[in-house]
Structure 1
């Protein structure tokens, strides 16, 4: 978004036009809409800014629901913004710790600052990009105790601030930055600040675990079984005795698995009546062994992050399957076995084997009224195809 587009969008005419246009999804006839707005006498720069923003608002509903219709975005800001339900978890952590003021250093469009301010926490939101800072100020305008500053997150005085929230920008020049030293702020500087005050640091879930500071709490979060982030907590917002955590959110519910450190894997054993695929947050947090022991189960193989048990597992931390039978992982034999069983609809999952599920499905010649899940993996060191049903 150019400064000219920003000025046009934030004008009274621009905001009125944005409200009037409403949602613009991928199937909208944009050419016709542009023609209508231009014919009504609106400036081309304003029309472009409004339609871009209307599209972003439509996309943002997946993260912000109805709140998206009263917010402004940039494409990069929306991509990196925290989902509303996740931001609420972050803010709750600060509130429960009794922290009354938080500096959001690198606030982006202000998603986490919004959640903090909604709990009555005084927020200082700092953003280095001028356009993004202006949009954050618009988004935070309903909260009198939230202030947005355009500036360097590392240069601003933090007198009177009790806690910190940092989400270092991991994109620049339209690309993802792989070196943490190139992030804004750099990860080393972020963790140096985190040593001074109670702090939460939002990172990508696949970050090198060697970068996580000793003694901090690392919490992986998944939403509807998609791992969306890692938060490294320190100081008063870190929980005593918790070094690793997997928080699962979805359908208005939350469940969390915790441990003091990486959990040793459970012993491997024979395939039982049930299989459990742990949630990705559990796998990222290396709490598979903890989950297996809670379920009274065992690993199917020392190198595979699946659990097997002899009794039906009741857990929010993974997807359960009831085993029908184990078949050889041989394409010709699989084709015959599935035809005999009348399997016409087949979900294929794999872990630890080099197979393209889509290509395999096309070659299996599936037909019949039945349905099942085929799990391609290793059991006890051997390649196996486990025919199962979702529980």
Structure 2
């Protein structure tokens, strides 16, 4: 849960004395091995402020891989966990460039920091006084930002795009039920009828059951699916209801939508097997991606693709052999190919890769990948070698 910050803590940490104290604490290791010793040292120097100082330094170090230019920000542990990565927030802000935006769940200001750079006016509101105080510190240099305490379900602005990021935990557990988000997603949508609305959600939500009339965008960053974003009809291309956006830390961006063709051939497995980016899979755009690159599916119900080439920037698996899923057969094939390091990938079969790897006990010298999936009703194993994704060309892979 982390340390429970107070407004007094935020006031101290935001001032000159707090900044100097944080600089001193940041010189400490603050590792598991040194934690007790370091905490005692901070307590001797700063008394009751020790816990707030140590937690802030710890969170700043943790935030560095997620939030850019946030070295001097203030956080709570929960707020940092939910904060949108900078590159994802920046991508969303670009779609809202030139519009006035009201972030009705602004928290510590991660979204607003990007919106303020390209939107003329940004309003941020939240019910948490501590997070609002932290946002005021974090956004101190933004002249076009106004912060206020307000309930996301009680509209206080007009003529703005409404941006919301409901908390995804209920009773201490992560939830995929729209009605259990905080605030509940159905209530949030109902609170802003006719307004341009953008809602950040968990990618695991069942969007078809939700009945969303606009666009659902699924976003990944460096291969990890980060979020789904709901765009109301006034903010979306009318021909698009699903979009996959693939972002990389190197600045590349790639997009595919359901407005693109999805007709693909039904053919036997090709020379290569490919595993599409998670955003493409979650957005239901596997066929669209395949059609764009001359690929096809191993099975119409499975997300693995196959073909005779590897699109630029993707990781491909060259098929060496194929056989049924029988452990005796798998073990014999691995021994035959002198298998050592073994990667196991599965889709459409109930199988624990780690458990299978332990049972196979590969002791050879050559690295291989087993792709285990279902073709029709038959569990099938492909023995493959992998190629590393090429650094360049990720944009070409989807754009």
TM-based fold match above 0.5: yes
| Cα distance in 1 between the residues matched to 2:380 and 2:360 | 16
Partner of 2:254: 255
1:342 and 2:338 equivalent?
A: yes
Asked if 2 retains the 8 angstrom alpha-carbon contact of 1:267 and 1:302, the reply is no
The equivalent position to 2:383 in structure 1, one of 379, 384, 387, is 387
5+ residue gaps, structure 1, are none
Alignment of 1:126-165 (within 5 A): 126-159=125-158, 161-165=159-163
Partner of 1:369: 365
Asked if 2 retains the 8 angstrom alpha-carbon contact of 1:301 and 1:381, the reply is no
Describe the SS at the equivalent of 1:168.
Answer: coil
Partner of 1:351: 347
TM-superposition CA deviations, 1:182-230 (whole Å, max 9, x none): 4333212322355423221100001111354443011100111111100
Partner of 1:62: 65
Describe the SS at the equivalent of 1:355.
Answer: coil
Asked if 2 retains the 8 angstrom alpha-carbon contact of 1:168 and 1:183, the reply is yes
The equivalent position to 1:192 in structure 2, one of 190, 193, 216, is 190
1:313 and 2:310 equivalent?
A: yes
RMSD over aligned Cα atoms: 2.2
Asked if 2 retains the 8 angstrom alpha-carbon contact of 1:300 and 1:307, the reply is yes
The equivalent position to 1:21 in structure 2, one of 17, 22, 25, is 25
1:71 and 2:76 equivalent?
A: no
| Cα distance in 1 between the residues matched to 2:233 and 2:263 | 29
Describe the SS at the equivalent of 2:96.
Answer: helix
Residues 182 and 339 from structure 1, CA distance in 2 versus in 1: closer, same or farther, beyond 3 angstroms? closer
The equivalent position to 2:179 in structure 1, one of 175, 178, 181, is 181
| Cα distance in 2 between the residues matched to 1:289 and 1:178 | 25
| Cα distance in 2 between the residues matched to 1:140 and 1:226 | 28
TM-superposition CA deviations, 1:306-334 (whole Å, max 9, x none): 1111x213155x54211111123111221
Partner of 1:102: 101
Describe the SS at the equivalent of 2:373.
Answer: strand
| Cα distance in 2 between the residues matched to 1:211 and 1:10 | 45
Asked if 2 retains the 8 angstrom alpha-carbon contact of 1:270 and 1:380, the reply is no
Moved more, 174-183 or 122-131: 174-183
Describe the SS at the equivalent of 1:70.
Answer: coil
Residue 267 of structure 1: CA displacement?
5.2
TM-superposition CA deviations, 1:110-154 (whole Å, max 9, x none): 111110012243110001111111111111111011111122123
| Cα distance in 2 between the residues matched to 1:328 and 1:240 | 45
| Cα distance in 2 between the residues matched to 1:13 and 1:173 | 37
Describe the SS at the equivalent of 2:154.
Answer: coil
1:52 and 2:55 equivalent?
A: yes
Partner of 1:83: 85
TM-score in terms of structure 1 length: 0.90
| Cα distance in 2 between the residues matched to 1:17 and 1:36 | 12
1:228 and 2:233 equivalent?
A: no
Residues 283 and 202 from structure 1, CA distance in 2 versus in 1: closer, same or farther, beyond 3 angstroms? same
Describe the SS at the equivalent of 1:36.
Answer: helix
TM-superposition CA deviations, 1:327-358 (whole Å, max 9, x none): 23111221121112111111111111122111
1:291 and 2:289 equivalent?
A: yes
5+ residue gaps, structure 2, are 388-399
Residues 59 and 216 from structure 1, CA distance in 2 versus in 1: closer, same or farther, beyond 3 angstroms? same
Asked if 1 retains the 8 angstrom alpha-carbon contact of 2:243 and 2:283, the reply is yes
